[in-house]
Amino acid sequence: MKRKVDRLSFFDHLDELRERLIKAVTAFVLASCLAYQYKDHILAFIIKPVGKLMFTSPADAFVIQLGLSFLGGFLLSLPVTVYQLWRFVAAGLKEEERRFVSVFAPVSFVLFVLGVAFAYYVFVPFSLSFLLSFSSDTLVAMITVKDYFSYVVTLIFAFGVIFEFPLVILFLAKIGIATPAFLIQKRRHSIVLIFITAAILTPPDGITQLLMAVPLLALYELSIIVAKFVYRPPVAYES
C-alpha cells in the first residue's frame, strides 16, 4: 500500500521508522549468523596488526568471538542499513529533494567503508607501532583481546562516521540549510571541536590525536569546497 510521502503524519513517520528498523535488524541478524561461521577468519584479520593477544577472563574469548560476529554482521548488512536509513529520510523530503537519495545512499556506504579501511590499514598500525615502541625489558606489552577489540572497533566506527561528514554537508547544502559562509565563519570553532573529538577517541598522546585530527580537518575543508559548488540560495516566491 502506497502512501503520499509528502503528506505523512507523525504516526505515519513512526510506522515508516518501524518498518525500516525491522528490515535493518533482520538483515543484521542474518548477516551476524553468517559472520559467526567465519569468526576465526575475522579474528585473525582483526588482530593482524598486533599479532597474538591474551585474555584474562574465562568468558573473554567467547564474548569477543560473539562480538566479532556482530561486527561482521554489521558490516555485511551495512548496505541494507544505509538504504533503509536513506529511505526513511526521503519520506520527509520534498519531491525535488528526494531524488538525491538514490545518489547519496551508495556514496554514504562507500565513504563509510573508506573510513573503516583508513582506520584499519593506516591509523591502527601506526598508532600501535608508536604506542608499543615505548615497551622495554622492564615494560612488556601484554595486550588483552578485550582491550584491543574495544580499541579497534571504536576507531573503525569513529572513522566510518567521520568520513560521512562531507556527504552530510553536501546534502545540507543541496537543500539550502548549510551555507559556505556559515562553514567558513565557524571554522575556528570546528577546529576546536575536531581536536576535542580526536582527544576523546584516541589514546592520551599527541601523535595519535594529531593523526585523527588531520583527516578531520581535511574533510571539513573539503566540505566547504563541496558546499560552494552545490549550495543554491532558496528561491523567494512572491505572494
Same domain, 106 and 208: no
SS3 201: helix
- The domain of 227 spans 164-233
Asked, for residue 4, whether it belongs to a domain, the answer is no
- Do 90 and 128 lie in one domain? The reply is yes
Can you give the pTM of this predicted structure? Answer: 0.74
CB atoms within 10 A of CB 179: 15
Question: pLDDT tens-digit profile of 173-191?
Answer: 776 777 778 888 878 888 8
Say if residue 178 is in the same domain as residue 120. Answer: no
**Is there a domain that residue 110 lies in?**
yes
Q: Are residues 32 and 82 in the same domain?
A: yes
Determine contact, residues 20/88, Cβ cutoff 8 Å.
yes
- The verdict on residue 238 lying in a domain is no
Of the residues 156, 174, 194, the one at which a domain ends: 156
Q: Same domain, yes or no, for 43 and 107? A: yes
Same domain, 218 and 121: no
Strand partners of residue 144: 54
pLDDT-derived band of residue 25, with 50, 70 and 90 as boundaries?
Answer: very high
Domain annotation covers residue 120: yes
Are 21 and 138 in the same domain? Answer: yes
* 85 membership: H or E segment, kind and range: helix 78-90
| pLDDT tens digits, one per residue of 181-229 | 888 887 888 888 888 888 887 766 677 778 778 888 888 888 888 777 7
Instruction: Look up residue 57 and give its three cell numbers.
Output: 577472563
| Count: domains in the chain | 2
Cell (9 digits) for 114 = 573508506
